[in-house]
C-alpha cells in the first residue's frame, strides 16, 4: 500500500514546528526556506499547499531546517538577501546586508544630483550592497569599491554581473589603499564598528558572519579612525564622507571627524530611532 504523499502544506507545518524553539519567526523562516527549495513565491506556497512535495525537495528542506535550527543565518542558507530592492547573492565571506544600511545609501544619494557623473568610493564593500545601490541609482557616476577579502570581492563582482550594473569597479585592498591618487566627490563606508567584547557577537546571525566585517577593535572605532585619517586627502574640495556607525558612537565618530579636519558634521537616525549614519564635508 502506498503512503499518501506529503503535501507542501504538511512540510511547511513540520518545518515551522521544528523552528519554533530556535527562531522568533518560525513560520517566516520555514516559508523562506520552502520558497528557496521549491523556487516558488510566497503566494504560490499558499495556493500550492495541497500539492505533494517530491522526496528530493522534502529532503533538501529538512536539511536546511536542520542548519537553521543550528542558528545559521537564513541569508546564507538561501544564498540571497534583498537590499535596496536588489537581489544580492551572499555567502559566509560577506556581512549580510542590513536594512539600516539603506539609510547610508539614502543619505549618500541625497548628496549626489540625479544626473551627476561624479566619483564615488565605497570602502569595505563586502557583498557590494552599498556600491551597487548607489551605482544603480546614479548610472552616470563611477563607483570604486574596495575590500581586503578576495572572497568578498568575488561575491560583489558576481552581484554586479548578475544585476547588470556596469559602473562599479572592484579593487582589492585595505580601505582607501587601492584608490591610488584618485579624488572622489563622495566616500561612503559601513566599516566594522562593533566592540570586540560586545555580547551580541555571540547571538544570532553575527556568530556566523566574518568577524573582520563586524569587529572594529576594542572600542569598535579602529576602522573609522583609519578611514577618517586618510579620507580628506582623497576627497575633492567640498566632497562628503558618509559613515555608518553603532547606535552609541555618534559623538565619538563626530569628534574623530572633527579632529581630522571635517566640518558640517551631521548625524542621521535610522527607522529604529538610533543614530546610525554620520556625514561630514
Ligand atoms: N549593524 C551590524 C550589527 O550590529 C554591524 C555592522 C558593522 O559592523 N558594520 O551586527
pLDDT, one tens digit per residue, over 42-55 is 999 999 999 999 99
Q: What percent of the chain has pLDDT over 70?
A: 98
Of 21-25, 28-32, 72-76, the poorest mean pLDDT is in 21-25
| 206 CA: nearest ligand 1 atom | 10
Residue 238 gets the label, from left (phi > 0), alpha (psi -120 to 50) or beta, of left
| Separation CA 99–CA 38 (nearest Å) | 26
| C-alpha 110 to ligand 1 mean position (Å) | 23
Q: Ligand 1 in contact with 190 (CB < 6 A)?
A: yes
**If you average pLDDT over residues 14-35, what whole number do you get?**
95
For the Cβ of 84 lying below 6 angstroms from any atom of ligand 1, the answer is: no
> Going along the chain, which residue ranges are E strands?
80-83, 86-89, 119-123, 142-147, 168-172, 184-189, 235-244, 266-269, 275-280
pLDDT of residue 241: 98
On the question of pLDDT at 4 being above 80, the answer is no
pLDDT single digits (tens) 228-267: 999 999 999 999 999 999 999 999 999 999 999 999 999 9
Does ligand 1 have an atom closer than 6 angstroms to the CB of 214?
yes
Q: Is 206 in the pocket of ligand 1 (CB under 6 A)?
A: yes
Distance in Å, CA 28 to ligand 1 centroid:
23
Grid cell in block for residue 138: 546614479
Q: Is the pLDDT of residue 15 over 50?
A: yes
The yes-or-no verdict on residue 1 having pLDDT over 50 is no
The pLDDT of residue 36 is 96
Q: How far is the CA of 97 from the centre of ligand 1 (A)?
A: 9
Q: In angstroms, what is the span from residue 192 Cα to ligand 1's centroid?
A: 7
Best residue among 98, 126, 275 to mutate for probing ligand 1, ranked by most atoms within 8 Å of CB: 98
The Å distance, Cα 80 to ligand 1 centre, comes to: 18
pLDDT attached to residue 79: 98
Rounded mean pLDDT of 6-20?
A: 95
State the average pLDDT over residues 94-115: 97
Annotate 150-172 with b (16+ C-beta within 10 A) or e (fewer).
Answer: eebbbbbeebbeebebebbebee
Q: How far apart are CA 244 and CA 253, in angstroms?
A: 10
What pLDDT is recorded for position 3?
A: 53
Report which protein residue has its CA nearest ligand 1's atom 2: 214
Amino acid at each position: 500500500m502506498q503512503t499518501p504523499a506529503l503535501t507542501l502544506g504538511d512540510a511547511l507545518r513540520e518545518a515551522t514546528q521544528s523552528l519554533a524553539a530556535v527562531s522568533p519567526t518560525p513560520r517566516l523562516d520555514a516559508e523562506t526556506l520552502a520558497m528557496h527549495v521549491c523556487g516558488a513565491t510566497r503566494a504560490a506556497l499558499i495556493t500550492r499547499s495541497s500539492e505533494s512535495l517530491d522526496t528530493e525537495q522534502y529532503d533538501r528542506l529538512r536539511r536546511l531546517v536542520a542548519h537553521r535550527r543550528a542558528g545559521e543565518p537564513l541569508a546564507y542558507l538561501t544564498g540571497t538577501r534583498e537590499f535596496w530592492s536588489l537581489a544580492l547573492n551572499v555567502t559566509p565571506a560577506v556581512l549580510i546586508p542590513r536594512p539600516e544600511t539603506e539609510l547610508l545609501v539614502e543619505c549618500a544619494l541625497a548628496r549626489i544630483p540625479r544626473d551627476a557623473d561624479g566619483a564615488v568610493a565605497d570602502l569595505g564593500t563586502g557583498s557590494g550592497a552599498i556600491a551597487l545601490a548607489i551605482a544603480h541609482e546614479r548610472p552616470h557616476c563611477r563607483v570604486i569599491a574596495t575590500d581586503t577579502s578576495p572572497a568578498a570581492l568575488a561575491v560583489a563582482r558576481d552581484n554586479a554581473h548578475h544585476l547588470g550594473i556596469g559602473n562599479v569597479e572592484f579593487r582589492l585592498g585595505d580601505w582607501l589603499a587601492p584608490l591610488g591618487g584618485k579624488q572622489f566627490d563622495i566616500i561612503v563606508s559601513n566599516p566594522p564598528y562593533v566592540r570586540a567584547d560586545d555580547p551580541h557577537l555571540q547571538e544570532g546571525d553575527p556568530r556566523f558572519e566574518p568577524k573582520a566585517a563586524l569587529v572594529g577593535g576594542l572600542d569598535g572605532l579602529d576602522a573609522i579612525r583609519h578611514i577618517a585619517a586618510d579620507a580628506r586627502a582623497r576627497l575633492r574640495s567640498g566632497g562628503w564622507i558618509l559613515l555608518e556607525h553603532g547606535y552609541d558612537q555618534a559623538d565619538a565618530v563626530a569628534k574623530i571627524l572633527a579632529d581630522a579636519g571635517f566640518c558640517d558634521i551631521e548625524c542621521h537616525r535610522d527607522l529604529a530611532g538610533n543614530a546610525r549614519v554620520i556625514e561630514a564635508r
